Structure 1
Amino acid sequence: MVSRRSLSALILLAVGVCALGGPPVLAQVSRWSVVPAQSSITMRVASPLGHRSGRFERWEADVRFDPEAPEAAWVAVTVQAASLRMDNASLTQPAIGPALLDTARFPDIRFRLTSLRRLEGERFTAEADVTMKGVTRPVRFPVTLRSAGQTVQMTGGFSLDRAAYGIGTQGSWNRLIGRQVRVDVSLATRPA
């Protein structure tokens, strides 16, 4: 569960404030708070027993947003990698252990939005940097922004090549799980 108090730092994954720098100063951009009960960061990967899924339970987001100019948004998320809970509880420890996420050495997964470009209506293309296990790679993915009263919901997802981040590249895990990991993010936000 994301605590309201912890929202000032960014997504440990990754969906705290990124070490790469702070948000740009923009006249109408203001801080928004995440609504934890309406937000989630999940993952899904193929295995010999079918797709396995998991949910990150602890993460923080720093969101700066102007509803009149969504393209000026600044979002940084820090996910506590050890908070991953797999759909099969017996898979949680291997997933966060040394062969895969290695959360003892790499406790955070970071996501930093670098660009948001409107396609039409509520549809956008997002570009972001994702950092896991000390490796940063860019991702590009479709997102939808929907407004309902004071709440703005951002929904999107992308696929990552786990081997590009050094995840599960040694031993039997490399053969047992798919290389592509699907990450889905849903952030509900309100003005802080």
Structure 2
Amino acid sequence: MGKSVWVVDAAHSLAEFSVKHMMIATVKGRFTQMEGRIEADPQDITGASFEGSVATASINTADEARDQHLRSADFFDAENHPTLTFKSTRIERDGDDYKMTGDLTIRGVTRPVTFDLEFEGTGKDPWGNEKIGFSATTKISRKDFGLTWNAALETGGVLVGDQVKIELHLEATKQA
């Protein structure tokens, strides 16, 4: 089949995260604006490459006041850092799935991150467009990327957990 270029279909994709709140609950959110490009041969995912970005201002946690705080300089500083980016550097087989390593950039800080990557398959939509699907998850320390704002709790501990779980569900369309 050979390598093809696939463009992420944002309407059918999801970039989601979750983080502990007050050490007892979990807050989930998503970025509603994303774009990405995948070069892949469905017969050999280890040769694929992924790159993408999300608009930090598009953060949505279902609470506008919290979203405004997350866009501020305390967290993503969306005005000065309008995007989070990822570019893969290596994909290796891991049993039936894959490990995808690459460079994640948040707030101007770039660090290597490894995702558990699942190839969901390919198919054609009713209009004849070829589609490809992937899911990926990882956990990062937000402090590693300069997201250090927090508040102490009276009972001990902190308001916002350090570990952030990231989940991606990607559908992309093959380009002519």
Shorter-normalised TM-score: what interval? Answer: 0.7 to 0.9
1:22 matched residue in structure 2: none
- Name structure 2 gaps, 5 residues minimum: 124-129
**Against the structure 1 CA distance between its residues 51 and 171, is the aligned structure 2 distance closer, same or farther, given a 3 Å change threshold?**
closer
2:145 paired with 1:165: yes
Mapped partners of 2:7, 2:110: distance in 1:
26
The whole-number CA distance in structure 1 between the counterparts of 2:9 and 2:37 is 12
2:126 match: none
Whether 1:155 and 2:135 are equivalent positions in the alignment is yes
Q: Describe how 1:136-155 pairs up with structure 2 within 5 A.
A: 136-149=110-123, 150-155=130-135
Partner Cα distance (2:28, 2:172) in 1: 25
Paired position in structure 2 for 1:181 = 164
Structure 1 or 2, whichever has the larger Rg, is 2
Residue 129 of structure 1 corresponds to which residue in structure 2?
Answer: 103
* Corresponding residue number in structure 2 for 1:62: 37
Q: Quote the offset at 1:147 in angstroms.
A: 1.1
Q: Is 1:73 aligned to 2:48, yes or no?
A: yes
Q: Which runs of 4+ in 1 moved over 3 A?
A: none
Segment of structure 1 superposing worse, 150-159 or 94-103: 150-159
Determine whether 1:95 maps to 2:66. no
The residue identity in structure 2 corresponding to 1:161 is: S
Q: Is the 8 A contact 2:10 2:35 kept in 1?
A: no
Higher helix residue share: 1
Question: Is the 8 Å Cα contact of residues 52 and 87 (structure 1) preserved in structure 2?
Answer: no
With the length of structure 2 as denominator, give the TM-score of the two structures: 0.85
Give me the CA root mean square deviation: 2.0
Higher strand share: 2
Is 1:104 matched with 2:79?
yes
